[in-house]
Structure formats: C-alpha cells, structure tokens
Amino acid sequence: MNNTQLIKELESYHIGKKYNSYMNYGAHMVESDGKFGVRFLVWAPNAVQVSVVGSFNDWDDHAHAMKLIEETGDWQLFIPNVSEGDVYKYKLFLPDGRVLYKADPYAFSSEVRPNTSSVIANPFDYGWHDAKWLENRQSFEPLKEPVNIYEVHLGSWNMKKTGHFDDEYFKSVDPSSFYNYRELADQLIPYLKKMHYNYIEIMPLMEHPFDGSWGYQVTGYYSITSRYGTPDDLKYLIDQCHQNQIGVIFDWVPGHFCRDEQGLMYFDGTELYGDIDHPNWGTKKFNFYKSEVRNFLISNALFFFEHFHIDGLRVDGVTSMLYLNFGLEGEPYKNRHGSSEDLDGIEFLKELNTIIFEKYPFAIMAAEESSSWPQVTHPVDVGGLGFNLKWKMGWMNDTLDYVALDPLFRKGSHNKITFSMHYAHSENFLLPFSHDEVVHGKKSLIEKCFGSYEEKFRTLRLMMLYQYTHPGKKLNFMGNEIAQFIEWRYYEPIEWFLLDYPNHQDHQSFMQQLNKLYLRENALYSKDFESSGFEWLDADNSDQSIFSYIRQGEDEEKLIILLNFTPIHYDAFRIGVPAPGDYRVVIQSDQPPYKPERIRYIKSEPIPLHGKKHSIELSIPGTTGMILKQKQSKR
C-alpha cells in the first residue's frame, strides 16, 4: 500500500465509515522493500513526536522516531528485524514538555502483569477446526433455540494451587496458580458437556492490570490477557468448544476504560478517548461523539467475531452508555437538547448492533442494562437499540427477595413471582443469576435462601426449577450448580471439594438433569418471547404460595409447572390441565433422584378447574417444584 492509499484508508477510520481499523493500526509483521519487520501505526494528534521503544532498541527513543501523517494525526514507522515476541511501547513527546510511555491501544498481546508493555504478536494465522460449527450457526435463531449459559471467570474456575498476596485493599493471584487456556479446555469442556450447558460466557479476557477488577477495567482491548496464555491458546479453547457444540460469548466492556497510566487515559496528553469520570468504577467513559472512538470499539467487536470465532457478546454497563450522568451526583452534563441522555452513546449502540447483525445474524448480543430504558431489544429501524437479549434484572431481584423470606410471610409478597409476567414480553429477556449476585456481601445463592441447612437446598432447587421454566434464556454463574456457600472469590477456585458431601452432589445432579431437560423440551425455549408460550393456571394462590402455569412450544407440546414455596405437604392437590389424558412428572425438585424411578401416570378427570375442563389430583411435597407432561398418543 502506497502512502496515498494509506492516507485514504486512514481517513475512512477517522470518519467512521470502515470497521477493520485493527488491520492497519498497531504493530503488524510485514515485508517492506524486501525486508521483514514490523509496521507500527498509532493515533496521537496532540504529540509533537512519537518514538517506538522496546526490547529491540534498548528502549532508546532516538533509534526509531515515527513519521507524522499530518492529514490524520497518525504516526507510522516500519522497523526491520523486529519479530514476534518483542516488547514495545510508544514514547510520546508533548507540547508542554511532558513525556508519556504508552502501551499500544491496538496491541494483540501484552506482558503479564505487573509489567505493562505491548508484545508483537500475529493473531491471524491460527489453524481452525470448527468449520462445521461455523456453517451450522449461519441458520441459528437464538430467540427460538435453547440458550443455557454457564458464566465463568477463567482464573478462578479451577486453579493449580491456591496462592495470593495482599495488596493494600485487594488480593493479587500468584501467576503460577492459573491453568492456561489449553489446560482449561481439557477440563472445562468435558464438564460443560457433562452438565448440559450449551453456551459459555467468559468474563472479560481483554488485558487488564488488576486482578480485582475481574477484567472490567481494560487497558488492552485487542490484547487477550496473557495471564492464561497466548491468543492462539484462547483460540484453541474456543475451537474445542465449537467442536463440542458449545457456543462462546465474550463479556465486553465498551462503556469505560482503565485509568492506569500506560492505557488510554490522556493518551497523547489530551482526553483523546474519553473525558467523563466514572466515580463508582474509577474509570473514564469513552467519548462516543468521536468517530475514531466508535471505530476503535466496533472494529474491536468485529475483530473477536472474525478472528476468534466468538458467537456473541454480553455488553457490560449499557446503562452507563445511555446516560451522561451515570454514577454522578446531580446532572452536571446535558446533551444539546438540555436532557441527560447520552445521544452519542445511544447512536453508538445502534450502530454496533446494526453492523454486527449485518455480518453475523446468528450472534447473541446481550445488554446488561438495569434501567427502564424502552426497546432495548427492538430493531434499530423501529427505534430500538438493536440488541436481541436483555438481562432481566428486575426478575432476578424479585426472585431472590422472595426466596429470602420466611415461607410464612411469602403470601404477602406473592407478586414478586407473578409481576415478572406483566412485562415478560416487553423485551427479549435473559434470566441471570450472575457473578454480580454472589459478591460484595450479597451472599451466595444458597445462603440467600431462607431456612435451615436442609431447607436451603430444597429452596435453591425449587428456585432453579422456576428459573428454567420461566420464559427467557438462562444464565448461571459457576458455583451455582454445586450450591457453594461462600461468595465467589476471584483469587480462589470454586470449592469443588463440596462435591464430597451428599447435599452438594445431589444439587449438582439435579442441575445436570434440569439442564438436560431444558435442552430437550421445546416448550421451555421455542416461544420464550411469544405470549402463546406461557399461560397461568393459577397465579392467585397466595395463601398457599403455590404457582402453576403452562409452557408451550412450537411443536404444540405443553408442560405443566407446579411450584410450592412453603414447606407444607399436600397429599391431594388438584390443578387444571389443558387437555384430557394421562400425565406424569418428568422432574421433581424435592429429593434424589429428582425424576421418578418408574413412570407413573395420573389420569385426568372431567372436573373443571383453573379455566380448564379437566384436572388432575396429585401429591405435592413442601418446598418443591415439578414439571408434568402429557402422555402422547400413538399415531
């Protein structure tokens, strides 16, 4: 590419018309005039000089001064004999005499923290073996398919050893404690298959300096964290997931960036990438008005789809992108209309989703959005933000509040279970019991449940059955499936030793069966976002705290769900059924083995109830949920 072509290409990034900026910016191994080396390109319009310094020139800022492209404010340089694995930074000289050392915003790899230099890497040459998955996913319709997500923090899912050292306030993990991406693939994927999860959502893997941020304070957006290995190692993990029919979702943080001095903050001495402070998070909000910022982020999303073969993004902190004053006291910032919506942030999200779905129609784009903002999952062309899923935070909070109550008082909060169906179809919802609910003194899921040790297990299983039968896609954080009592700690592994104890082993077995049933039964997922997919049988039985409803799928098969949220056992409890016939329990949460050892059918009777002409009578134990299915007639 000659200089005129390069300038034209760069100008397209600066006006936001092209979204593969990572193909030019950063450090690329190329051949130039018969010499092999690395071409560097960085945007720093306020600098008076920029040099590339690194292991290949003894960090000498006189050795490799970059050349300014005045039309765009970019700096470029080709350095021969630089190779993969060399480390580098940009040294920026500012008009006021200051000097800054910055990591490359487009670096494809970084040093292991606490070191902060960028590393020359080639992310484009991995030999993939997931062609069949890529072909099949082209016809995937996530809204009509089962989506059962296992959310995982790779560093603490399992560890070689438990070891950490205390900082002033937080703990840093001994790097030798981590399994690498390839080792995790060999452990994690068999577990996902055993447990019948069909998606994994990985907490942020973009390079971050501080373990205690869990990856949510990013310094290297294109740089996969070196804590667990190389970019190719991560691709191996994703490749193995796809070969085993497991989709991969990345947790992505486009709303704000880390304030560490080697990162994007005051990159060329000015607030080049963002200006508004996030006081709650100690970060800076991206300035979405700038084409270069939008291009940086949208190109980043496309980079992961194209070169890491991901299947979706969970977009963190969407609410903070919708409002100028998120987390701030009062309303110090106003938009051009005098209100506090971030008009540029809104347009960025619409642009992001439009471009993603144009190129990757199968994608899951899930918004972590906690406000009452309308039409988050509606198409952009009808005024929506364009996501296809939204985390249902209200459902999650109401459910957890309800199970924390003494069963004697649950009848007074009956609407905490029924209310979610009033707005269930206003958006395409995902039901999350995520990492956010098991940290910072909130207690683990089982500890949130009211009652004695044994009662907590019964309540947790009942709550999980409720989650899996409520309309919406599913997400559970690692450790939920073994009923871990302590909160999640990013510096320690899940307490796998708990599986030596019968109650925890039984809970894992229940989750395994529930997951398998969910993937198998069309009625539990194919009409999540259609009113015909759900019907209350009895939403008003507050005195007994019992709920009953029907789920129906595309194949017209129906499941009956019965939830008893008190410890009172009923020998003869009657519910209406949608059609005459024989019914059986397919899973029951009260005790192992959770499904009947032998099939026993209950014949319906022509006794009208719950608006149905027929009903059945059955025994329902206390603090128990069950799913019933009608016997299919032979044709």
pLDDT tens, position by position, 260-303: 999 999 999 999 999 888 888 889 999 999 999 999 999 999 99
pLDDT at 307 over 90: yes
Q: For residues 19 and 299, give the distance between their C-alpha atoms in angstroms, rounded to a whole number.
A: 5
Among candidate residues 267, 259, 306, the one with its CA nearest the CA of residue 284 = 259
Who contacts 550 (Cβ-Cβ below 8 Å, separation ≥6)? 534, 535, 536, 537, 558, 559, 560, 561, 578
Tell me the domain boundaries of the chain. 3-119, 531-630
Domain range 3-119, CATH architecture: Sandwich (2.60)
Mean pLDDT, all residues of the chain: 95
Q: How many CB atoms lie within 10 A of CB 329?
A: 7
pLDDT for the residue numbered 172: 81
pLDDT for the residue numbered 634: 58
**Amino acid at site 358:** E
pLDDT for the residue numbered 4: 79
Identified catalytic residue from 292, 344, 368, 427 = 368
Strand ranges for 140-292 from DSSP E: 148-152, 164-166, 171-173, 199-202, 206-207, 220-224, 247-252, 256-258, 274-278, 283-286
Q: Would you call 387 helix, strand, or coil by DSSP? A: coil
pLDDT at 436 over 80: yes
pLDDT bucket at 170, cuts 50 / 70 / 90: low
pLDDT for the residue numbered 510: 97
Instruction: Name the DSSP letter for residue 463.
Output: H
What is the tens place of the pLDDT at every residue in 593-613? 887 767 789 999 999 999 999
pLDDT at 182 over 90: yes
DSSP 100-153: EEE--TT-S-BPPTT---EE----S------HHHHHHGGG--TTTS--EEEEE-
What is the tens place of the pLDDT at every residue in 192-249? 999 999 999 999 999 999 999 999 999 999 999 999 999 999 999 999 999 999 999 9
Who contacts 422 (Cβ-Cβ below 8 Å, separation ≥6)? none
Tell me the sheet residues that pair with 251: 314
pLDDT for the residue numbered 412: 97
pLDDT at 92 over 60: yes
pLDDT at 169 over 60: no
pLDDT at 506 over 80: yes
Among candidate residues 302, 472, 329, 492, the one with its CA nearest the CA of residue 393 = 472
State both tokens at 556: 């017209």
Q: Can you state the angle between helices 343-359 and 291-308, rounded to 10 degrees?
A: 30
Among candidate residues 578, 540, 582, the one with its CA nearest the CA of residue 560 = 578
- Asked if the domains 3-119 and 531-630 are classified in one and the same CATH topology, the answer is yes
Identified catalytic residue from 239, 316, 351, 369 = 316
What is the tens place of the pLDDT at every residue in 564-586? 999 999 999 999 999 999 999 99
pLDDT for the residue numbered 119: 97
pLDDT at 513 over 90: yes
| Arithmetic mean of pLDDT, 466-475 | 98
pLDDT at 392 over 80: yes
Q: For residues 536 and 124, give the distance between their C-alpha atoms in angstroms, rounded to a whole number.
A: 52
Q: Is 33 among the catalytic positions?
A: no
pLDDT for the residue numbered 9: 87
pLDDT at 1 over 70: no
Question: What percent of the chain is predicted at pLDDT more than 90?
Answer: 89
pTM as predicted:
0.96
pLDDT for the residue numbered 623: 98
State both tokens at 473: 């896609």
Among candidate residues 59, 97, 227, the one with its CA nearest the CA of residue 159 = 227
Q: For residues 473 and 528, give the distance between their C-alpha atoms in angstroms, rounded to a whole number.
A: 8
pLDDT at 165 over 70: no
370, 434 contact by CB (below 8 A): no
**Amino acid at site 72:** T
531-630 classified as CATH 2.60.40.1180 = yes
What is the tens place of the pLDDT at every residue in 138-147? 999 999 999 9
Q: Is 521 among the catalytic positions?
A: no
Weakest-pLDDT range from 8-17, 19-28, 374-383, 449-458 = 8-17
